[in-house]
Amino acid sequence: MNYLLILLTIFLAAPVAGQQVPVVLSESDFLALVAEHHPLAARAELQRERSQALLREARGGFDPKLYGDLAQKYFKGTRYYSLAEGGIKVPTWFGVELSASYERNEGYYLNPEHTVPENGLFAAGLTVPLGRGLFFDQRRAELQRARIYQRATVVERQLQLNELLYDAGSRYWEWAGAQGAVRVYAEAMELARTRYAAVVSGAALGDRPAIDTLEARIVVQNRLLGLESARLDLANATAALNAFLWLEGVIPLELDEGARPPSPDSVVVGIPAPLPAGLENPGLLQTRLKLDELEVDERLQREQLKPRLDLKYNTLIAGGPAWSPERFSANDYKWGIGFSQSLLVRKERGKLQLIRIKQSETQLELAAKTALVEAKLAQAENEAAATVLQYALAQRNVDDYARLLAGERELFGVGESSLFLVNSREVSFIEASLKRLELMVKHRKARLAMRYVAGLAIPTPAGGSLPNE
């Protein structure tokens, strides 16, 4: 039955999948699909829910708590004692714990200290940590850690999503470059076949030497080898791209056979707009938040150096059906004080020293990461700027080689050029076209790297374009 449900889900989802992936797949459309449906993107969203759960758990440390206790002893028909107590305790942010309780004790052998009025005894008071825990304690530390973790999960989500989209974007441009290479070789292949047919016809009529047919056939074979190699690269690039296409993070999708990127001529290759000020790499933010968490640990551990000195005070009021303010007396109370302190405090001082060592290590890690991020950003900016000029030169080469090739073909058609020269011009034109595609891919990947390293979320507007274009 489970297999039938899975198959039914796949069949029902198939029409939706076809609508999800357009035939002409732009970069922004592809990244939007990845950000919306990839399992890692869904996992990144779960981090936010995890942080909310941890924050709720930490806030639970300040929840009021009800308690109750009943102890009785009967032996040979005699009730030795019956001790009953119940109440509520309310911890506060300032370390003071408020409490209220009701106690009713009876029995033939009741301990005198448990003796209470006939209608029971009410108590209301507080517990104040005068030493350790007055300014900071475990409950407040857990809540601060949860808030830091909540901020950290936002950064973690951005980091995971940026890594996913950067990787997906890189695979997209490799796929686009492979598509372009197949088109270049396919056009060259058709030209070589057409020329081969013309040379064979010319040789049959005696207009061309027979040796030209052999050379023309070798050219066709070489072009076919290049085309098959380009098709293999495209198949591998398509497989890598398909790994990023999912439906709701559950059903893997595949590109249609006719799917293609926009024409290379429509791809923007230009100096990127300056990145917005105030951006910070998510990896650096993670390390800064780690320092914030260590600061919480240090503050909590400093509290452990103080002696434990807890003061308890409760005012007592006798129970009864008709209570009035006159029954309250300042002379009815119970109080206590507790004290403890290690004489050498070696354990506490050792833990504090370890935390401070971790802080120093994390600060050094932050400095190293900062330098690395700045270097990577400079490299990406340099590559993005340099490939603009390189691409312009490559485009000019393509245009010039195209004119040379057109002229050589005209000369060959009237018998004033050789097959060798025409093939040489075509090889140069193919190499220039492939170099232009290579620089286009390199430039677009450099633009992605700039945004990724800078910590700017890679844009994914469906049907739109990159903001810095």
Cα 455 to chain center, whole Å? Answer: 11
Query: pLDDT value at position 414?
Result: 77
Query: pLDDT value at position 8?
Result: 37
- Tokens 């029409």 belong to 15
408 located within any domain: yes
Is there a single domain that holds both residue 426 and residue 381? Answer: yes
More confident residue, 14 or 426: 426
Is there a single domain that holds both residue 418 and residue 309? Answer: no
Domain boundary residue, one of 318, 338, 357: 357
9 located within any domain: no
Is there a single domain that holds both residue 207 and residue 151? Answer: yes
19 located within any domain: no
Is there a single domain that holds both residue 133 and residue 210? Answer: no
pLDDT, average across residues 432-450: 91
210 located within any domain: yes
Is there a single domain that holds both residue 121 and residue 246? Answer: no
Q: How confident is the model at residue 468 (pLDDT cuts 50, 70, 90)?
A: very low
Structure tokens, 358: 């971790």
Q: How confident is the model at residue 13 (pLDDT cuts 50, 70, 90)?
A: very low
Query: pLDDT value at position 21?
Result: 60
17 located within any domain: no
Residues, the chain: 469
pLDDT, average across residues 45-49: 76
Euclidean distance between CA atoms 219 and 207, whole angstroms = 20
Euclidean distance between CA atoms 108 and 120, whole angstroms = 16
Structure tokens, 309: 């000195």
- Whether the predicted pLDDT of 467 surpasses 80: no
pLDDT, average across residues 255-282: 78
More confident residue, 416 or 183: 183
Query: pLDDT value at position 15?
Result: 39
Give the percent of the chain with pLDDT over 70. Answer: 89
- Mean of all residue pLDDT scores within the chain: 82
Euclidean distance between CA atoms 227 and 427, whole angstroms = 13
Is there a single domain that holds both residue 28 and residue 167? Answer: yes
- Whether the predicted pLDDT of 341 surpasses 90: no
Q: Using alpha carbons, select from 31, 27, 100, 4 the residue that is nearest to residue 245.
A: 31
Query: pLDDT value at position 200?
Result: 83
Q: Which amino acid does the sequence have at 185?
A: Y
Q: Is the pTM of this model over 0.85?
A: no
More confident residue, 457 or 342: 342
383 located within any domain: yes
- Percent of residues in the chain assigned helix, strand, coil, to nearest 5: 60, 15, 25
Q: Which amino acid does the sequence have at 365?
A: E
- Tokens 């990845």 belong to 34
Is there a single domain that holds both residue 153 and residue 210? Answer: yes
Query: pLDDT value at position 247?
Result: 79
- For 245-263, give one letter per residue: b (16+ CB within 10 A) or e: bbbeeebebebeeebbbee
Q: What is the 3-state secondary structure (H, E, C) of 39-65?
A: HHHHHHHHHHHHHHHHHHHHHHHHCCE
- Whether the predicted pLDDT of 2 surpasses 50: no
The end-to-end CA distance of the chain, in Å, is: 52
Is there a single domain that holds both residue 73 and residue 52? Answer: no
Is there a single domain that holds both residue 227 and residue 344? Answer: no
- Whether the predicted pLDDT of 229 surpasses 90: yes
2 located within any domain: no
Q: Which amino acid does the sequence have at 2?
A: N
Contact between 66 and 148 (Cβ < 8 Å):
no
Domain extent for 211: 24-58+141-290+358-454
- Angle at which helix 39-59 crosses helix 27-37, to 10 degrees, equals 40
Is there a single domain that holds both residue 385 and residue 408? Answer: yes
Is there a single domain that holds both residue 315 and residue 348? Answer: yes
Contact between 88 and 102 (Cβ < 8 Å):
no
Counted domains in the chain: 2
- Whether the predicted pLDDT of 428 surpasses 50: yes
Euclidean distance between CA atoms 157 and 47, whole angstroms = 7
CATH code, domain with 364: 1.20.1600.10
Q: Using alpha carbons, select from 396, 453, 151, 420 the residue that is nearest to residue 272.
A: 453
Euclidean distance between CA atoms 141 and 355, whole angstroms = 15
Highest mean pLDDT among 211-215, 322-326, 340-344, 464-468: 340-344
43 located within any domain: yes
Is there a single domain that holds both residue 351 and residue 364? Answer: no
Euclidean distance between CA atoms 215 and 224, whole angstroms = 14
Q: Which amino acid does the sequence have at 262?
A: P
Q: What is the pLDDT of residues 293-338, one digit of tens each?
A: 999 999 989 888 888 888 898 888 887 666 566 666 778 878 888 8
